[in-house]
Amino acid sequence: MTDPKPPTRAPLSRPRILKAALRLIDERGLDALSMRSLGAELGVEAMSLYRHVPSKAALLDGVVELMLAEVATDPLPAGLPWRGLLADVARRYRSLARRHPGAFVLLVEHPERGYVAGRDATVGVLTALEAAGLRVVRPPEGWLLKAWDGDVLVDLITEPVGLDAAQAIGRAEEVRVLGLHVLALRPEDVLTSMLLARTDLWLDFEGLLRAVRMVRERVDWDEVRERTRESPYAVGFMAMTEALGLVDGAPGRPAPGGG
């Protein structure tokens, strides 16, 4: 008589690790999650997890990604006006918070995690808003996705170009606007993104010049120059602002028109 074979363990994978992490947080709380406790939950050594998730931060990003996938699992209902669609999305987030109160804290305390992980989840929302009659606009710079409700413009979501979104939001300053606390990106990050978005197919500098006039005294222009120096369009724009007297010239560069 042969000995029975031991039960086969499911192979370790990123999806399996993320599901176990979310389950552990649901059962024991966010503070209980560590690579060691997660390894014990899965019956493996903690070090083996790093083949699939390189760090705890990456693990937490994956947990947020998993939660947001729940929001996007079912298609948005057809035939609703756009306000009804957004209300449906809000209800889904409320349900998500009730199902995963411990993990939902990640979205509340670290909005950059949801910003990065949930970027793909916006596609379905935009499609549904278009079907509901809104005209969705995706400007070339990718900085703001917009939708028109008749002649009313609604900003939907930001997607910076040339920036690490998590790092940019991590550098943002909390400000109070109309009684609300919101995160404001550093002007250097905003201008860098706007400059790097310029291409030979889209060289409209009018709005950018207005922005420079409003914030020029608050900007570290040497930082902006360094971060955009690979873009000939950004270099050209900076030369133009210097010639107009809006921005001081780079150190060591002769003033426009100088001998």
Dump pLDDT digits (tens) for 89-141.
Answer: 788 888 988 999 999 888 766 655 554 445 555 666 677 777 777 777 766 55
The model's pTM is: 0.53
Structure tokens at 251: 């150190």
CB 46 within 8 A of CB 54: no
Residue 3 — very low, low, confident or very high, per pLDDT cuts 50/70/90? low
**Structural domain total, the chain:** 2
Are both 151 and 172 inside the same structural domain? Answer: no
Q: Are 19 and 64 in contact (CB under 8 A)?
A: no
Domain C-terminal end among 159, 182, 217: 159
pLDDT of residue 21: 96
Residue 259 lies in a domain: no
Between CA 112 and CA 116 the distance in angstroms is 6
Identify the domain boundary among 144, 159, 174. 159
| 189 and 98 fall within a common domain | no
Q: Which amino acid is at 159?
A: E
Identify whether the C-beta of residue 199 lies closer than 8 Å to the C-beta of residue 140: yes
Average pLDDT, the chain: 79
Q: Strand 144-149 to strand 173-177: parallel, antiparallel, or no bridges (unpaired)?
A: unpaired
Give the residue carrying structure tokens 């270099």. 235
Domain shared by 211 and 146, yes or no: no
The torsion region of residue 109 among left (phi > 0), alpha (psi -120 to 50) and beta comes to alpha
Where does 28-179 show beta strands of DSSP type E? Answer: 135-137, 144-149, 152-158, 173-177
For residue 142, being part of any structural domain is answered with yes
Give which of 162, 179, 178, 246 is closest to 212, Cα–Cα. Answer: 246
> What residues make up the domain containing 217?
162-248
Report yes or no: 140 and 151 within 8 Å, Cβ to Cβ.
no
CB neighbours of residue 132 within 10 Å: 19
User: How far apart, in whole angstroms, are the C-alpha atoms of residue 248 and residue 241?
Assistant: 8
Taking the CB of residue 100, how many other CB atoms lie within 10 A of it? Answer: 21
What are residue 152's phi and psi, to 5 degrees? Answer: -105, 125
What confidence score (pLDDT) does residue 253 get?
Answer: 54
Residue 3 belongs to some domain of the structure: no
Round to whole Å and give the CA distance between 161 and 159: 7
Q: How far is CA 124 from CA 68, 77, 128, 158, in A?
A: 12, 11, 6, 16
Judgement on whether residues 83 and 62 belong to the same structural domain of the protein: yes
What number is the average pLDDT over the span 73-97?
80
**pLDDT of 144-173, one tens digit each?**
566 777 777 666 555 567 777 777 777 888
